[in-house]
């Protein structure tokens, strides 16, 4: 595996070179290399049997920067049906997320004011198992979910109207013809996961009512860069968003940013409100854009320290774990999230260094981690191994995980937090 300086420009179509990559946000071919992570398995390619081979297929993973619109993204695009048609991750397995669903839906209620005699039509894109949809409906919205995975059918079975499809212009037209335009569109953690970004935003534009509002939430690329959150770089997560890049994308489709806020979810995310360009509400993103200008977030030069920090973190984590293994310590992991799979594979962490991964999601228990092949077990089974250290894979839920093990399971030993550089609690 190798990392390269972002100043090393990518191929611009020289003779013999591969076809130039076109930015998903603006279609420009002017990109610069940020980070080469080598070839890694798909982060959610969990397998059940040692004889299974799906997780042994490795795909190149290269992070690039668009010099035209500032969108940070990976070059490689895996077939989206392979990535999203069957999904193991569900929202409701985290207490932190459950609490956030309640507070987020209350904020939507306060801002968009559903009444007893009026239920604004809310469409959630990438609605997963309908966990948030249920909260929106409880506070007074008329809801519809759209999700491409098997989870859409599960939500529909629970009485939450859902369409199983990849959202885009065609799906938007279908919804408009049958239900009308949406007063509110919610898209949490969607923009970064979409290969057909132009089609997605075109569909959003078509679906949004003239005076409607769209709420976008996404992990913030500032946190990726400054907290060295490189484990969030995986094949399902195609784009790493800044306010600058989102502003450019929405303007391309005749929309504007009317509010920019932030939250702690997923290691630090932005929450952006969007309206049609001619809506009777002013654009209100200049302070956020000025901040990104100040810290060089939308310039290739602003990503140099990140490119240097990633291999340094890998070396530090391997040194820590190999040292503990030499001492005869039992080290396990907890939180078999996609980000953890990326880190374990990039760092070459084997079952010899990490004996098992625990996870509260029963859909993952009994499976083998992609590539590295340590078993995923329940929290109770993890404790039965009598670990000396627990590596927190889902570090964005660090406080919840530590509290759970201390208070519920009586764990008295140590935790390892891997980022931005490994440290022990």
Q: What is the 3-state secondary structure (H, E, C) of the chain?
A: CCCCCCCCECCCCCCCCCCCCCCCCCCCCCEEEEEEEEEEECCCCCECCCCCCHHHCEEEEEEEEECCCCCEEECCCCCHHHHHCCCCCCHHHCHHHHHHHHHHHHHHHHHHCCECCECCEEEEECCCCCHHHHHHHHCCCEEEEEECCCHHHHHHHCCCCEEECCCCHHHHHHHHHHHCCEEEEEEECCHHHCCCHHHHHHHHHHHEEEEEEEEEEEEEHHHHHHCCCHHHCCCCCCEEECHHHHHHHHHHCCEEEEEEEEECHHHCEEEEEEEECCCCCCCCCHHHHHHHHHCCCCCHHHHHHHHHHHHHHHHHHHHHHHHHHHCCCCEEEECCCHHHHHHHHHHCCCCCCCCCEECCCCCCCCCECCCCCCEEECHHHHHHCCCCEEEECCHHHHHHHHHHHHHHCCCCCEEEECCCCCEEC
Which of 267, 283, 299 is a domain's end point? Answer: 283
Indicate whether 104 and 147 sit together in one domain.
yes
Q: Does residue 23 belong to any structural domain of this protein?
A: no
Q: Does residue 120 belong to any structural domain of this protein?
A: yes
CATH classification at residue 131: 3.40.50.150
| pLDDT digit string, tens, across residues 368-394 | 999 999 999 999 999 999 999 999 999
Q: Domain count for the chain, please give it.
A: 2
Indicate whether 202 and 272 sit together in one domain.
yes
Q: Does residue 357 belong to any structural domain of this protein?
A: yes
Indicate whether 342 and 267 sit together in one domain.
no
Indicate whether 271 and 221 sit together in one domain.
yes
Which of 283, 302, 331 is a domain's end point? Answer: 283
Indicate whether 409 and 341 sit together in one domain.
yes
Indicate whether 350 and 213 sit together in one domain.
no
Whole domain around residue 160: which residue ranges? 91-283
Indicate whether 231 and 105 sit together in one domain.
yes
Kindly give the confidence (pLDDT) of every residue in the chain, 425 residues in length, as a single tens digit, with 9 standing for 90 and above: 334 333 333 433 333 445 689 999 999 999 999 999 999 999 999 999 999 988 889 999 999 999 999 999 999 988 876 666 554 555 656 788 889 999 999 999 999 988 778 899 999 999 988 999 999 999 999 999 999 988 888 899 999 999 999 999 999 999 999 999 999 999 999 999 999 999 999 999 999 999 999 999 999 999 999 999 999 999 989 999 999 999 999 999 999 999 999 999 999 999 999 999 999 999 999 999 999 999 999 899 999 999 999 999 999 999 999 999 999 999 999 999 999 999 999 999 999 999 999 999 998 999 999 999 999 999 999 999 999 999 999 999 999 999 999 999 999 999 999 999 999 99
Indicate whether 240 and 187 sit together in one domain.
yes
CATH classification at residue 364: 3.40.50.720
Indicate whether 276 and 134 sit together in one domain.
yes
Which of 238, 263, 283 is a domain's end point? Answer: 283
Indicate whether 106 and 227 sit together in one domain.
yes
Is the overall model pTM greater than 0.85, yes or no? Answer: yes
């Amino acid at each position: 595996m190798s990392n390269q300086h972002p100043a090393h420009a990518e191929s611009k179509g020289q003779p013999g070179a591969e076809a130039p990559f076109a930015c998903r946000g603006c279609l420009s071919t002017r990109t610069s290399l940020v980070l080469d992570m080598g070839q890694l398995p798909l982060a959610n390619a969990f397998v059940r049997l040692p004889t299974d081979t799906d997780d042994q297929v490795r795909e190149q993973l290269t992070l690039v920067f668009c010099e035209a619109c500032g969108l940070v993204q990976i070059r490689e695009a895996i077939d989206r049906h392979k990535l999203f048609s069957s999904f193991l991750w569900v929202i409701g397995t985290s207490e932190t997320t459950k609490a956030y669903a309640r507070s987020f839906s209350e904020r939507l209620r306060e801002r968009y004011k559903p009444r007893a005699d009026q239920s604004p039509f809310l469409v959630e894109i990438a609605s997963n198992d309908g966990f948030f949809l249920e909260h929106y409906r409880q506070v007074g919205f008329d809801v519809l979910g759209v999700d491409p995975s098997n989870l859409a059918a599960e939500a529909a079975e629970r009485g939450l109207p859902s369409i199983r499809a990849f959202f885009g212009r065609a799906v938007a037209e279908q919804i408009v013809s049958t239900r009308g335009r949406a007063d509110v569109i919610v898209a949490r953690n969607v923009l970064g996961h979409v290969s057909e970004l132009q089609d997605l935003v075109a569909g959003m534009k078509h679906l949004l009512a003239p005076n409607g509002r769209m709420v976008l939430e996404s992990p913030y690329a500032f946190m990726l860069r400054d907290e060295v959150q490189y484990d969030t770089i995986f094949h399902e997560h195609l784009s790493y968003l800044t306010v600058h890049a989102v502003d450019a994308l929405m303007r391309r489709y005749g929309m504007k940013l009317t509010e920019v806020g932030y939250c702690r979810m997923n290691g630090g995310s932005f929450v952006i409100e969007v309206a049609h360009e001619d809506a009777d509400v002013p654009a209100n993103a200049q302070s956020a854009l000025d901040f990104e200008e100040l810290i060089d977030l939308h310039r290739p030069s602003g990503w140099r320290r990140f490119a240097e920090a990633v291999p340094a973190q890998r070396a530090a984590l391997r040194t820590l774990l190999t040292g503990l293994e030499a001492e005869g310590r039992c080290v396990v992991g907890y939180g078999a999230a996609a980000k953890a799979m990326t880190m374990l594979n990039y760092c070459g962490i084997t079952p010899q260094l990490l004996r098992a991964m625990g996870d509260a999601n029963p859909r993952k228990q009994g499976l083998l981690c992609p590539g590295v092949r340590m078993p995923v077990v329940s929290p109770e089974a993890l404790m039965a191994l009598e670990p000396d250290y627990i590596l927190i894979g889902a570090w964005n839920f660090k406080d919840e995980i530590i509290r759970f093990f201390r208070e519920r399971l009586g764990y008295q030993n140590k935790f390892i937090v891997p980022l931005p550089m490994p440290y022990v609690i």
